[in-house]
Every structure is written in C-alpha cells, then in structure tokens.
C-alpha cells in the first residue's frame, strides 16, 4: 500500500466524464483537508488507483467506453485496489435492481444526482475518518513491527496478530452494507486494536525496563572490570594483533614504565622503545601466533627513562572494540630477581662463614697453647733480655693471630658479643683519632654527626673495628690523597624497605652511618664480592681479605644492614644501618687482676698440648688439676674424684662425646655441679642452650691467664683471695 501521501491530508478520487460535474464535486469538498484527484474515464481511474492509495472513489456510473460498474468490478478484482471504498454518483440509481447491481460491482454506497451537499460531505467525512484511522493503524503496525523484530518472538507474534486483525478489518470494510453499521464495526475493531496496542506498549515498557536493568548491570560490570583494570598491581596492555599498536594501558603500566596512556596510544612497542631487542619481540609474537597465547615469557622491558625492568609476560588473543587484539599482563620481577641474587649472596656468605668458624676454632686451640706457654715462660727469661724480647714477639704475633681469628668469628657471627650501650658518635670520634695517626697527610678526615640519638646496643670493640676497617679501606683507595667522610643521621626504616632487604631487619628507628671517599672506586664485578672472606684486590702480604667480611659479620650480628655504592674513578660510599637503643644504662665490667685458688679442677680437652698448657696455667694459679681427654673419661674421672673437684672446665668440641652431651650427663648425675665451658668460638644460641643445661660460664679460646682466673672465680661459688695484678 502506498503511504507516500502526507499524513494530514485525505486523498479522494473523483471520476466523471463531464468536467462540470468534476468541478461541482471539487467545490463541495474544498477546504476540508481533502486532496482531490480527477479522472475523466474508467481507465484513468484504474491507472490512478494503481499508482496511489485513496480514502474514497466517487465514481460516475454512466461514462463512455467503460462505465462505472465495469470500473468498480476491475478495482475489486485487483488486490492492490480492492480495499478502496467506492460510492457511485448517478441520476439513475432509483431503480432497486440498479442499486443491487452497484453493490454487486463493489460499491459501498451511492449518491443520487442532484447531490445534496450536506449528505455528500457527511458520507465523505465518514470514509475520510475511516481512512485516517486505517492510516494510523498501519503506521502503528509498521512501527510496532520494527520494534517487535528487535525484541522477542512473542512480540513478533503479537505484531502478526495485529496485522491479521488489520486485514480482517479491511475485509469487514468491504463487506459493510450500511455505512452506519460499518462505522460501528470499525470503531469496535479500532477499540480492540487500541487495546492490543496498549497491551503491546505495556509489554514494550516491560521489555525496555528489563533492557535498562540489563544495561545498568552491564554498566556496573564494565565499571567493576575497569576498576580492576585500573587498580591492578600488574601492568596491562591491550594492543592490536599482529601490528602491536597499543589501544589501551592501565595506570600501573604508566607508573612502572613512565608512559602516559595519551602518549602510548597509537604507537607500538618498537616506536616506544619498550623491547630491549628485536629478537625478543619476534620470539614473543612468534610464540603468540603459534600457540594463541603466551605464559611466563621472560624478557626485559625499558622504561621511558631507558631503565631496564625484568618482566614475565602473560598474553592471550581477544576481541577489543571490534578489533583483533592481544591482552598482555606484565609481572615486574626486577626486585624479585634482585632479592634472589641477594639471597644467593647471603647463602654463599653463610656457607663461607661456617667454614670460617671451623677454621677459627682450630686456630684458637693452637693460639691458646701458644699464649699460655708464652705466659708460663715469662719468669724463665727475666734475666735474658734477648730471650724476653723474642718471647714478647711471640706473644705479639699470637695476639695478632687471635685478632685475625676474631675477625673470622665476627664474620661468621659465632663470636659472643659484649653487649653494652654504645654511642656511635663517640665511636666515630675514636676511629678518627686512630686514623689521624696512621693515614697520609694528603688525606683529610671530615665528620658530620647529625644523629641526635646515636646509642645502640652492641660490642663497642667490634663496632669500632668495623668502622676502622672501612676507614683503612678508604685510605688505601686514595694513594694520591683525598677526603674520607664519616656521617651519622637518624632515619626510620619502614616495613617495605625491611621486606625488600636481604638482611633480617625490623622496621623502626635506626642510625645511618655513612663512610665515603673520593678515591679510585670499585668496579661492578668486584662490588659483588667485597664482603667475601679472603677476597682482596691488594697485593700479596698487604691484605688478608677479612676486613670487609668482618664488617659484614659485625653489622649482621648487631641486627643491622650494610650497602655499598661505588663508581670507578669517582669514589665509594658505605652505608650502615643499626637499630637504636632505648635502654637508659648498660654496664660493662671486667677485672684486670689474677685470682688465685686451691680447689681441685678437672680440665677436659681432646688436644694434648692444650691440656698440658692449661694444667700449667691452673697450677700457677694454685689449683689442683685433674685431666681428661674426652667426655667419657671426664665422666669416669669425676665419678672417682668428685669429692676433690670443685669445677669442671669442659671443651665444647671433642670426639666420641662432645661437651654438650658431657655437660648434660654431668648435670643429670650430679645436680649443682659447677661447669665452665671452653670453645674456639661462641655462638649465642649455643651459649644460651648450655646455660639452660646448667653451665656456670663460658670462656673463649684463646684466653690469657687473667681471663682464665676470672672465669674460674665466677664459676666457683666459694670465696677466693684476690692477688694484685703485679703477680700476673
């Protein structure tokens, strides 16, 4: 059906072979919103109705060539025109038989000439209203059909029913005999159709409401996914495939690699300089093309500043905004790899430390015998200056060797600290005083002690030795002169820094000690090994390689951490962080006098030379001495001589039965027995375990006679007579 006519006009076709009759009809129907079309013959009428839809045809019956009856019958036989209402206009319809012929031909009414204007206008108005209603129904139907096609099958069925009802309405229109009855039926059908339209509209509203709810859920889901995309701790990139042009990145990607989204969009990784090399990029995209995804692809990605980050890439192909793309998630493992390297370094240092501890133990056993024998020889060389000088050299060499083993033990963290409250600023002043007397005048010393809180709990000798080692290394790095700077400052280390450190440190207030120089610097390959024991770049005879290893051990033993920054030709900076102490007072005491006694002492040691030297030292102090070379012999001897023995001096490391097992058996059999432990090294946890078992004290090898006499006096509960230090 042609709906091209304007919706505010009603097209009417008037057919008459006489122009005056056509003019009369035009006058009667003018100014009423009708669009009038003339036809002067039946053929013209048929041609026009095939080209255009009309609300009504006013058809003259008596016309030449083809009268009105023939024209009406042809219109009714054509599906395109049979729905158009026809009213015959003639002067010869008074005959009832003539009227029936008109109805049989397809007319719905007739008008007799001369035409009554009011009657003509009333009937035309009725069919015009029916036409408007039919047009409105058709427009509604077309509109609903478009909506129904986008919705559900159920709505399409409703639209089909509406079309069927409309078709039935058209058939009823053609069958109406009386205009008034036709109008009532059309109105009734219109009401039914209107109700159906209302029902359809209600269904559409429900569908639209459901669509809006779904859209809201979709928007919320998109917002949720966008939030995850933005706050993800992993860098995420969406790029076209296979060109690699970036379509979207998240904030984490911008934060890690420095590229803003506005800058990165529309460029590929090569243009941004992300890839460290073409080979890695080609391998990545080759694997992505073959496997349609990549998992854990390890490579290096460069930031906008040119820094290289180690990442693991996880990628998959996807559609993004109607484009074939690849979603890539980058896990930054730079810090993880650094920590793994630090852990490997720490593990290596621990293994070397264990080795150092074992070497120091054997060294200390020998040094104990040397120092003890030297002390015992002093009375015999008093009248021989040359021999006394040689003996002094022996003692000095043994003492320096003891210092060397002390450095080994400090590195291996097996040395028991003398924990007191120590002011780092004071320690730095002491180190400066020592360095001023040993360094070249071309080297100047500077201090910037900014730490207002500078007290730590630790061994002052070990801390002083650590700082002195750093100062000496700085001196050796400046053969042509320069500046050595010691700085202290207060700093708070947060949990993030402590977790990322390879040292075992806890968050809180620390003192930062900086020792820097502007010397020759250290190359990167050497920086990785500076804390290894026995590693040195100095000439043979000028360094043991234990200085920085001892510093490392001292710092870790004081629950701190140390870092090194160096550049060849520029200088070196060491930074030490030690936890601050909040204790108001810790006292340190030691006695310089020999303490003599007369008790019986059981000395247990597997080294014969140590037993002999130890026996001589104990007897020189007035004690009666019993000897045993292992734990089992010690148990047997004590069981036999327990009434004569007041103290057992027990070596910790022995074959057959070690000192710890011997101590446990002695305490089980003889509760309250006094036992003093000897060892070439002293690990704090081991000392605590021995004290829990009942040990009265601990003495580290090598020891001097004064240290031995003090330890014995503290271990034996009965009173002793103190003799002046001049008898030592």
507, 501 in Cβ contact below 8 A? no
Residues 143-176 as b or e (16 or more Cβ within 10 Å = b): ebbebbeebeeebbebbeebbebbeebbeebeeb
Are 366 and 396 found together in one domain? yes
Are 264 and 357 found together in one domain? no
Spatial separation of the C-alpha atoms in residues 626 and 615, rounded to whole Å? 8
Are 520 and 431 found together in one domain? yes
The pLDDT of residue 721 is 34
Confidence of residue 715 (pLDDT cuts 50, 70, 90): confident
Mean pLDDT value of segment 410-424: 62
The pLDDT of residue 585 is 45
Are 28 and 89 found together in one domain? yes
Confidence of residue 587 (pLDDT cuts 50, 70, 90): very low
Give, in order, the Cα–Cα distances in Å from 13 to each of 10, 126, 560: 10, 15, 107
Is 470 within a domain? yes
Angular region, 481: left φ>0, alpha ψ -120 to 50, beta rest: left
Strands 86-90 and 56-60, bridge-based pairing? parallel
Is 462 within a domain? yes
Spatial separation of the C-alpha atoms in residues 645 and 638, rounded to whole Å? 7
pLDDT in tens, 80-119: 888 899 988 877 655 666 666 777 777 778 788 888 888 8
pLDDT in tens, 259-300: 777 887 887 777 777 776 677 777 888 887 777 778 778 888
Evaluate if residue 582 carries a pLDDT over 80.
no
Is 191 within a domain? no
Evaluate if residue 427 carries a pLDDT over 80.
yes
CATH number of the domain where residue 304 is located: 3.30.450.20
Strand-pairing partners, residue 597, are none
Report which of 682, 686, 670 is spatially closest to residue 711, judged by C-alpha positions. Answer: 682
The pLDDT of residue 415 is 47
Confidence of residue 321 (pLDDT cuts 50, 70, 90): confident
Are 101 and 154 found together in one domain? yes
pLDDT in tens, 32-50: 888 999 999 989 999 999 9
Are 151 and 252 found together in one domain? no
The pLDDT of residue 717 is 58
Residue that finishes a domain, picked among 135, 150, 175: 175
The pLDDT of residue 485 is 93
Confidence of residue 173 (pLDDT cuts 50, 70, 90): low
Spatial separation of the C-alpha atoms in residues 455 and 213, rounded to whole Å? 67
Spatial separation of the C-alpha atoms in residues 85 and 76, rounded to whole Å? 10
Count the domains in the chain. Answer: 5
Residue 52: Cβ-neighbour burial (10 angstroms; 0-12, 13-18, 19+): middle
C-alpha angle 658/660/664, rounded to 5°? 120
**Verdict on whether the full-model pTM lies above 0.75:** no
Is 542 within a domain? yes
- Tell me which of 172 and 537 has the higher pLDDT: 172
Strand-pairing partners, residue 571, are 567
Are 78 and 169 found together in one domain? yes
- Tell me which of 591 and 145 has the higher pLDDT: 145
Is 211 within a domain? no
CATH number of the domain where residue 497 is located: 3.30.565.10
Are 547 and 606 found together in one domain? no
Residue that finishes a domain, picked among 579, 614, 631: 579
State the residue range of the domain holding 139: 10-175
Is 193 within a domain? no
Mean pLDDT value of segment 585-601: 62
The pLDDT of residue 1 is 45
Residue that finishes a domain, picked among 518, 551, 579: 579
Are 575 and 607 found together in one domain? no
Is 183 within a domain? no
Give, in order, the Cα–Cα distances in Å from 204 to each of 152, 160, 384, 547, 574: 10, 15, 123, 87, 77
Mean pLDDT value of segment 477-492: 91
Is 212 within a domain? no
Are 467 and 605 found together in one domain? no
Mean pLDDT value of segment 484-505: 89
Are 404 and 423 found together in one domain? no
CATH number of the domain where residue 77 is located: 3.40.50.2300
Are 497 and 573 found together in one domain? yes
Evaluate if residue 348 carries a pLDDT over 70.
no
603, 626 in Cβ contact below 8 A? yes
Confidence of residue 15 (pLDDT cuts 50, 70, 90): very high
């Amino acid at each position: 059906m042609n709906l091209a006519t304007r919706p505010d006009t009603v097209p009417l076709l008037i057919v008459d072979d006489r122009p005056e009759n056509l003019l009369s009809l035009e006058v009667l129907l003018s100014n009423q919103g009708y669009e009038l079309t003339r036809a002067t013959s039946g053929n013209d009428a048929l041609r026009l109705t095939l080209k255009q839809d009309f609300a009504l045809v006013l058809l003259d019956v008596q016309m030449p060539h083809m009268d009105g009856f023939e024209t009406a019958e042809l219109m009714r036989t054509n599906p395109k025109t049979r729905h158009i209402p026809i009213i015959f206009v003639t002067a010869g319809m008074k005959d009832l038989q003539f009227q029936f012929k008109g109805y049989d031909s397809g007319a719905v009414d007739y008008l007799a000439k001369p035409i009554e204007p009011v009657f003509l206008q009333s009937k035309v108005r009725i069919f015009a209203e029916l036409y408007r209603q039919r047009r409105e129904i058709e427009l509604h139907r077309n509109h609903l059909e478009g909506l129904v096609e986008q919705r559900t099958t159920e709505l399409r069925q409703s639209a089909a029913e509406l079309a069927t009802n409309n078709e039935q309405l058209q058939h009823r229109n053609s069958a109406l005999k009386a205009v008034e009855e036709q109008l009532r039926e059309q109105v009734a059908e219109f009401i039914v159709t209107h109700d159906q339209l209302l029902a359809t509209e209600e269904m559409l509203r429900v569908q639209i409401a459901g669509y809006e709810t779904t859209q809201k859920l979709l928007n919320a889901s998109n917002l949720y996914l966008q939030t995850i995309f933005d706050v993800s701790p992993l860098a995420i990139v969406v790029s076209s495939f296979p060109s690699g042009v970036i379509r979207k990145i998240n904030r984490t990607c911008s934060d890690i690699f420095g590229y803003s989204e506005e800058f990165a969009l529309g460029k590929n990784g090569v243009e941004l300089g992300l890839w460290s090399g073409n080979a890695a990029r080609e391998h990545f995209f080759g694997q992505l093309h073959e496997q349609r995804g990549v998992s854990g692809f390890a490579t290096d990605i460069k930031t906008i500043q040119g820094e290289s980050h180690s990442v693991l890439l996880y990628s998959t192909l996807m559609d993004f905004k109607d484009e074939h793309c690849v979603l890539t998630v980058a896990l930054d493992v730079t810090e993880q790899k650094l920590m793994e390297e630090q852990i490997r370094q720490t593990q290596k240092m621990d293994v070397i430390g264990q080795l150092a501890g074992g070497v120091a133990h054997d060294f200390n056993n020998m040094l104990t015998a040397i120092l003890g024998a030297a002390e015992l020889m002093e009375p015999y060389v008093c009248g021989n200056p040359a021999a006394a000088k040689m003996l002094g050299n022996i003692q000095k060499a043994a003492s320096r060797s003891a210092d060397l083993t002390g450095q080994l033990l400090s590195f291996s963290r097996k040395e028991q600290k003398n924990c007191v409250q120590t002011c780092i600023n004071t320690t730095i002043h002491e180190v400066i005083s020592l360095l001023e007397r040993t360094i070249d005048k071309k080297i100047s010393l500077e201090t910037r002690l900014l730490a207002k809180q500078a007290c730590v709990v630790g061994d002052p000798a070990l801390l002083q030795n650590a700082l002195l080692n750093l100062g000496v290394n700085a001196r050796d790095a400046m053969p042509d002169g320069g500046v050595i700077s010691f700085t202290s400052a207060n700093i708070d280390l947060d949990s993030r820094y402590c977790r990322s450190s390879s040292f075992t440190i806890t968050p809180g207030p620390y003192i930062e000690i900086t020792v820097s120089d502007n010397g020759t610097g250290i190359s990167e390959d050497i920086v990785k090994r500076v804390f290894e024991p026995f590693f040195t770049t100095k000439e043979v005879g000028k360094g043991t390689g234990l200085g920085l290893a001892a510093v490392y051990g001292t710092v870790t033993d004081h629950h701190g951490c140390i870092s090194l920054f160096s550049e060849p030709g520029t200088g070196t900076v060491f930074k030490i962080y030690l936890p601050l102490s909040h204790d108001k007072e810790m006292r340190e005491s030691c006695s310089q006098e020999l303490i003599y006694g007369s008790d019986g002492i059981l000395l247990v040691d597997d080294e014969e030379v140590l037993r002999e030297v130890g026996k001589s030292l104990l007897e020189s102090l007035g004690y009666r001495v019993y000897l045993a070379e292992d734990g089992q012999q010690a148990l047997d001897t004590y069981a036999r001589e327990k009434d004569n023995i007041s103290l057992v001096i027990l070596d910790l490391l022995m074959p057959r039965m070690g000192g710890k097992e011997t101590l446990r058996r002695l305490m089980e059999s003889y509760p309250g027995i006094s036992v003093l432990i000897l060892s070439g090294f002293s690990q704090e946890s081991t000392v605590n375990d021995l004290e829990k078992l009942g040990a009265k004290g601990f003495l580290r090898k090598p020891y001097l006679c004064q240290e031995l006499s003090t330890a014995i006096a503290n271990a034996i509960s009965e009173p002793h007579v103190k003799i002046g230090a001049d008898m030592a």
